[in-house]
Amino acid sequence: MSAPSALVLKCPNCGEVVPHRVLRGKIAGKDEIVFEGVVRCSKCDAISNVVTREPKPIVVPLILSWLDRSEKTSLEFSPDEDVAIGEELDLGDTRIAVTAIESAGRRVGATKAKAVDTIWAKRIDQVRVKFSVNKGNRTVPHDVLAAPDEEFEVGEIVDLGKDRAVVHHIRTRIRTMRQGRVRADEIVRMYGRIVRERTSR
pLDDT at 30: 79
pLDDT at 163: 87
Return the number of other C-beta atoms located less than 10 Å from residue 111's C-beta.
16
Per-residue buried b or exposed e for 144-180, using 16+ beta carbons within 10 Å of the residue's own CB: bebeeeeebebeeebebeeeebebeebbeeeeebeee
Strands 6-10 and 17-28: antiparallel
What topology is assigned to 6-54 in CATH?
N-terminal domain of TfIIb (2.20.25)
pLDDT digits (tens, 9 = 90+) for 61-101: 999 998 888 999 999 998 989 999 999 999 988 899 999 99
The span from the CA of 48 to the CA of 33, in Å, is: 19
Q: What is the value of pTM for the model shown?
A: 0.62
pLDDT digits (tens, 9 = 90+) for 97-112: 999 999 999 999 999 9
The span from the CA of 64 to the CA of 87, in Å, is: 14
Whether residue 187 has pLDDT greater than 90: yes
pLDDT at 198: 57
Return the number of other C-beta atoms located less than 10 Å from residue 17's C-beta.
10
Residue 29's pLDDT band, with cuts at 50, 70 and 90, is confident
Phi and psi, residue 45, nearest 5°: 70, 10
Distances (CA, A) of 117 to 1, 65, 83, 106: 27, 17, 12, 9
In Å, the largest CA–CA distance within the chain is 81
pLDDT at 71: 94
Whether residue 121 has pLDDT greater than 80: yes
What are the residue boundaries of the structural domains of the chain, listed by start? 6-54, 58-123, 127-194
Mean of pLDDT values over 41-54: 93
